[in-house]
Structure 1
Amino acid sequence: MSPLLLVGFAAALALLGAPRLAAAGWVARAPGLGVAAWLALSAAIVLSALLSGVSLLLYYDCAHLLVDDAWHLCLDALLGRSDHLARAAALAGLAALALIGARMLHSAGHLYAADRSIRSRMRLLVRLAGTRTAVPGATVVPHPEPAAYLVPGRPADIVITSAAVDRLAAPELSAVLAHERGHRAGRHYEMTRWMRMLAGAFPWLRCFADGRRQVERLVELCADDAAARTAPRLDLARALVALADHGAAVLPAMHGGDALERLDRLLSPPPPLPARIRAAIASACGLLPVTPFGLAVFERSVTLL
């Protein structure tokens, strides 16, 4: 019963929860909570799938104790020493775990190699051609197109092109730097990388593709909000117009996200969510990833009674 509960929970999140979250209007009012919701939802789907495989692998006679005999019973099932249903369940669970693990490891490895190559090229450009004294807090590289972006790493470097420095007024440049600092402080690159990994591992699941697009959109709104706490929104909007059509497409950048949505939001900020709604959403985000464990433990407890 536990695998069916877990699979049903994962399917409900993927087929019902993800589309509703993608269409939710409140995420623009609280983009940080929106990002947290997507991360929690995706983690719950993955954990449900993994635990369903574990449940199948550990399928056994309920008269035995889980802690003492689980691995022996798994081995018995795989070797055919138990009934045919236990053997088939164990093999199905093993296949599910192997498939999920292999897909995630392959996607993570491919993503790591691609990101490392991009970061290496960008850091080489910064080291060879960058100037750290022209703009405090950033590295200026010569380039004919205006752009500003964050090169992830430890530490993450804010890079701005010479064309952007020439085009932007001083207040606009300060707003751009505040936006990139918002990306760095919020660790937005790590959040988008998690969703990119899932979308690459399971390209046939629309929920992860939607999640990737939504998180990439929402982290830009988060960085805009962080910048607006220290810089005028109008200056940030002007800078966005200047940089909207330029820059790198992979690294966290000032030009990212939906430029029209960001402009409208900067010029006409939406009202914040009420505190009680924020608390409810935050609680749901915290509970969602642990729900698969709760379902597995609840079903096991009922079985043993």
Structure 2
Amino acid sequence: MNAAPVLLGYAALVGAAAPRLLLRSAWPHRAPALAVTVWLALTVTFVLALALASARLATPTEHLHAGLVGLLHACGVGSGPAVPGPGTAGRLAVVLPLLVLGGWAASVLHRLGRAGLLRARHRDRLDKVGAPCPRLGVTVLPHAVPGAYCLPGLRSRVVVSDAAVRLLSPRQLDAVVEHERAHVAGRHHLPLAAAEGFAALFRRLPLARHVRGQVALLLEMSADDRALRRHPDAVLATAMYAMAAGRAPEGAFGAAGASPAVLRMKRILGPRPTPHPALRGALASAAFAAPLLPLLVACPPGV
């Protein structure tokens, strides 16, 4: 059986229907870290389904690994009895999936590299104009607008404007700094780059249109949750309100600004029931299994 129609149908379901279901659900804001995993799992399973469907379209009558094995033997790689070299269809069955996977990987790496360069340049500027604050473990930047952000990755840095230092109380300032440290400790720039890379490659896909914004928002909520472990709800919410006008530079995470701050403040001040453990387990299992489904469809066991 040619699995290409099934794989393409699965990709369409993941790319169009799954995002709508997630956007209508309440649980992602209750378990933001898990929701980030689910969003990224959808991008991975979509790319794999598309890559495998292209391979099956090229060789509808052959087993999936036949073209790859034949190509390896033709290149002198592999052991066992020689097999005929792959024909044009067999080569396409290898090249087309590699183009899909390679394009996806290149898009993600481009976002990581570009953001890394922007952060490196910004750190150089901070070394010239910023002042270290040993008590908070941050860099204080002269700026008239209260704000805070972090530069994750190598030589990570948490930056607070001197206006924020003057405006916020010590408890509010500690809560904001804890929020930024959560971004650094969680390496939140990596899942964000993965979402941005997917969104850039499949621009018109509903999943691509939503994944970047949703992952960014959920990462902010996840950092909020870490800050709330040590600080009262009202302290963090009032600090966010005071810094609502702040904007983080490109490549950085900010405590306010691009993400919907009002939505986050309502979440912080309102009830935050956690999903039932059974639901969390089912969602985590689904996120783990989703990338495997295209492989099972394209190359079922025992075939």
- The bucket for the TM-score relative to the shorter chain is 0.7 to 0.9
CA distance in 1, matches of 2:294, 2:270: 40
Letter in 1 for 2:202: F
Q: Pick from 262, 268, 282 the counterpart of residue 280 of structure 1.
A: 282
Alignment-derived partner of residue 160 in structure 1: 160
Retained in 2: the 8 A contact 1:247–1:253?
A: yes
1:104 to partner: Cα distance: 2.9
Q: Secondary structure at the match of 1:132?
A: strand
Q: TM-score when scaled to structure 2? A: 0.86
Retained in 2: the 8 A contact 1:108–1:197?
A: yes
Q: Secondary structure at the match of 2:133?
A: coil
CA distance in 2, matches of 1:237, 1:115: 28
CA distance in 2, matches of 1:215, 1:179: 16
Retained in 2: the 8 A contact 1:58–1:74?
A: no
Residues 168-217 of structure 1: per-residue CA shift (max 9 Å, x gap): 11000000011111112222111111101111122122211201111011
2:19 is aligned with 1:9: no
CA distance in 2, matches of 1:130, 1:227: 24
CA distance in 2, matches of 1:96, 1:131: 50
1:106 to partner: Cα distance: 5.2
Report the number of matched residues: 290
Alignment-derived partner of residue 127 in structure 2: 127
CA distance in 1, matches of 2:109, 2:29: 32
CA distance in 2, matches of 1:74, 1:3: 24
Alignment-derived partner of residue 264 in structure 1: 266
Retained in 2: the 8 A contact 1:147–1:255?
A: yes
CA distance in 1, matches of 2:62, 2:54: 17
Deviates more, 1:167-176 or 1:268-277: 268-277
Alignment-derived partner of residue 175 in structure 1: 175
Alignment-derived partner of residue 238 in structure 2: 238
Deviates more, 1:103-112 or 1:114-123: 103-112
1:74 to partner: Cα distance: 8.9
CA distance in 1, matches of 2:66, 2:102: 30
Q: TM-score when scaled to structure 1? A: 0.86
Retained in 1: the 8 A contact 2:59–2:93?
A: no
Retained in 2: the 8 A contact 1:146–1:164?
A: yes
Gaps of 5+ in 2: 75-82
Alignment-derived partner of residue 41 in structure 1: 42
Deviates more, 1:65-74 or 1:2-11: 65-74
Retained in 2: the 8 A contact 1:22–1:211?
A: no
Retained in 2: the 8 A contact 1:47–1:289?
A: yes
After superposition, the CA RMSD in angstroms is 2.5
- Sequence identity percentage: 31
1:112 to partner: Cα distance: 3.8
Gaps of 5+ in 1: 79-86
CA distance in 1, matches of 2:108, 2:68: 32
1:46 to partner: Cα distance: 0.9
Residues 120-171 of structure 1: per-residue CA shift (max 9 Å, x gap): 2210122112222354221111111111111122232111111111111100
Alignment-derived partner of residue 216 in structure 1: 216
Deviates more, 1:229-238 or 1:108-117: 108-117
